[in-house]
Structure 1
Amino acid sequence: MAGQFSEWDSADYLKTPQDRADYLNACLEEAGENSAFMANALVVLARACGMPEVVQDAGLLLSEEGELEFWTFLKVIRALGFKLQVSTFKAV
């Protein structure tokens, strides 16, 4: 028996600011050095926030080498209503 499946969109489930912050933190942990992963995460967050202008600008998030520009990342993070913080995960 074949079922009907709808396309999954994470943005549909990021209803509250805390949901979106948790999603961003999870993406930051998962991405490692994959800047394209983070660029996609920002696009998802922009859609969840109802900010189509951020989605339109998302094409500018990657450099020609496919790297997410750090300052652009921070600018988008701020536009989405977040701030980046640092915490320790191991003793140096």
Structure 2
Amino acid sequence: MNQLKGVVSHHEREIAELRADRELAVAYLKAAMESLDDPDERAAGLLALRTVAEAHGGLGAVAAEAGISRESLYRSLSPKGNPTLKTLLAVLKTMGMRLSVEPEHQAHA
């Protein structure tokens, strides 16, 4: 396979951008969390949380700081994952974030 020098994967670039810009990471995660409401889009939301955790020092470091096993975090933040509220809160706290509640956007008739 021919390797191109200087080529960075989309995922690596995404992690670098999220690591460099905290406001971007918060906005990215906020949009992703909205997708958790839809079972058909839940995988994307979990993968976005995983990407932000990777940008925050890696899943191993986040898991250790959150007090959960790395394997458990990998499973929880996989496309078919189903993190507990405790895990979700611990991961967000480790990254200096927290959950918040907003009213659902409804179209006016």
Q: Could you state the TM-score of these two structures normalised by the residue count of structure 2?
A: 0.61
- Over aligned residue pairs, what C-alpha RMSD do you find? 2.8
Deviation (angstroms), 1:90: 4.0
Deviation (angstroms), 1:66: 3.7
CA contact (8 A) 2:56 2:62 kept: no
Alignment of 1:1-92 (within 5 A): 6-9=8-11, 10-14=14-18, 15-31=20-36, 32-33=38-39, 34-51=41-58, 52-54=60-62, 57=70, 58-61=73-76, 66-90=81-105
Which residues of structure 1 form unaligned runs of 5+?
none
Residue deviations 1:11-57 (CA, integer Å, cap 9, x gap): 12112221110010111123423544333222211221224422672
Which residues of structure 2 form unaligned runs of 5+?
64-68
CA distance in 2: counterparts of 1:66 and 1:36, whole angstroms: 8
Deviation (angstroms), 1:79: 0.8
Question: What SS does structure 1 have at the residue aligned with 2:51?
Answer: helix
Q: Could you state the TM-score of these two structures normalised by the residue count of structure 1?
A: 0.70
In the TM superposition, structure 1's runs of 4+ consecutive aligned residues that sit over 6 Å from their partners are none
Change (3 A) 1:60 1:66: closer
Query: Identity over aligned residues, as a percent?
Result: 23
Q: Greater helix share, 1 or 2? A: 2
Q: Which has the bigger relative contact order, CA under 8 A and spacing at least 6?
A: 1
CA contact (8 A) 1:20 1:45 kept: yes
CA contact (8 A) 2:62 2:91 kept: yes
Count of residue correspondences? 87
